[in-house]
C-alpha cells in the first residue's frame, strides 16, 4: 500500500511517500521536511511532487492519503488539509486524518510518552500516551497548568517542540520534534488496513482562530 502523507500542524512542513508492507512495516520511500513558520502554502505542492518523483511513484499508484489533523494553528492546518483533500479527491482514493500528536508519538518507542507542540500564546498542545495508546488529550494548556495536571503521573519521555520539552524536567529526545512520514502512516495504518470508509477529516483546532471578523471581535 502506497500512501502520501502530509502534515502542516507545526512549523515543520512534512510530506512524503510511505509504503505499508505485507508484514505491516512502514517503509519510507521519500520525504521532505522543511522548517518554516510561514509559507506552507507556497511550498507544499512542490514538496509533494518532489517526493513522488524521488520515490518513483506516479500519482495513480497511490492507494491513500494521510493528513495530520492537528492540533495546530488555523492557517497552517487549513493549508495541509485542503491540499491533502484535493489530492485524494482528484485521485479518488481514501483520505485518512490522524491526530498529529499521535504521529509524533509513533516515532518515540515504548513507555509513557508526553508529546507537546507549540500552541503559541505561551501555551502548548499536548497528549499523554501509554503502552495501549493515548491516555489523555489532545488538549491545550500553559506549561505550568500542564505540569499541575501531570502531577503524580509517570512520564518516561517528552518529545515535540524543543523549546518546550525541557520545561517539564523529564527525559527528552530532541530528534523527535514534529510528525514524520513514517509516523503519520503508522498512526493511520490500522484504519487504512481495515478497508472501512474513512470518517470525515475534522481539524483539531482546540480553540478559536486568532483572526476573527470585526463583528465577532466587537461581540
Please, what is the angle between helix 40-55 and helix 74-91, to 10°? 40
Grid coordinates of 8: 502542516
Q: Supply the pLDDT for residue 219.
A: 52
DSSP code at position 23: T
User: 141 forms bridges with which residues in the sheet?
Assistant: 124
Q: Supply the pLDDT for residue 208.
A: 58
Q: Supply the pLDDT for residue 70.
A: 96
Give residue limits of the domains in the chain: 2-100+179-218, 108-168
Torsion angle (degrees, nearest 10) of CA 153, 183, 79, 85: -120
Top CATH class, 108-168: alpha beta
Grid coordinates of 89: 479527491
**Residue among 145, 56, 37, 129 nearest 137 (CA):** 129
Q: 102 near 78, Cβ under 8 Å?
A: no
Q: Which stretches of the chain drop beneath a pLDDT of 50?
A: 211-214, 216-217
Q: Supply the pLDDT for residue 207.
A: 75
Say if 2-100+179-218 and 108-168 have the same CATH topology.
yes
What is the architecture of the domain spanning 2-100+179-218? 2-Layer Sandwich (3.30)
Q: Supply the pLDDT for residue 38.
A: 76
For residue 202, give every residue at least 6 positions away whose Cβ sits within 8 Å of its Cβ, in sequence order, or none.
69, 97
Q: What is the pTM of this model?
A: 0.92
**Among the residues of the chain, which ranges form H helices?**
40-55, 74-91, 100-106, 143-149, 181-194, 214-218
Q: Supply the pLDDT for residue 209.
A: 52
Amino acid at each position: 500500500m502506497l500512501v502520501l502523507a502530509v502534515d502542516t500542524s507545526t512549523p515543520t512542513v512534512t510530506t512524503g511517500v510511505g509504503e505499508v508492507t505485507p508484514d505491516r512495516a512502514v517503509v519510507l520511500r521519500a520525504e521532505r521536511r522543511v522548517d518554516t513558520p510561514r509559507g506552507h502554502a507556497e511550498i507544499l505542492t512542490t514538496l509533494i511532487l518532489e517526493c513522488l518523483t524521488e520515490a518513483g511513484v506516479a500519482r495513480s499508484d497511490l492507494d491513500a492519503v494521510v493528513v495530520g489533523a492537528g492540533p495546530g494553528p488555523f492557517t497552517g492546518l487549513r493549508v495541509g488539509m485542503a491540499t491533502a483533500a484535493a489530492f485524494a479527491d482528484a485521485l479518488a482514493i481514501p483520505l485518512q486524518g490522524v491526530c498529529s500528536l499521535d504521529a509524533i508519538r509513533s516515532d518515540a518507542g515504548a513507555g509513557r510518552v508526553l508529546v507537546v507542540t507549540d500552541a503559541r500564546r505561551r501555551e502548548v498542545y499536548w497528549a499523554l500516551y501509554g503502552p495501549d495508546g493515548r491516555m489523555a488529550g489532545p488538549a491545550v494548556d500553559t506549561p505550568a497548568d500542564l505540569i499541575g495536571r501531570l502531577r503524580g503521573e509517570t512520564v518516561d519521555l517528552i518529545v515535540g517542540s524543543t523549546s518546550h520539552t525541557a520545561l517539564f524536567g523529564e527525559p527528552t529526545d530532541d530528534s523527535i520534534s514534529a510528525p514524520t512520514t513514517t509516523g503519520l502512516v503508522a498512526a493511520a495504518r490500522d484504519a487504512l488496513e481495515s478497508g472501512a470508509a474513512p470518517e470525515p477529516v475534522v481539524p483539531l483546532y482546540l480553540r478559536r482562530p486568532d483572526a476573527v471578523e470585526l463583528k465577532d471581535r466587537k461581540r
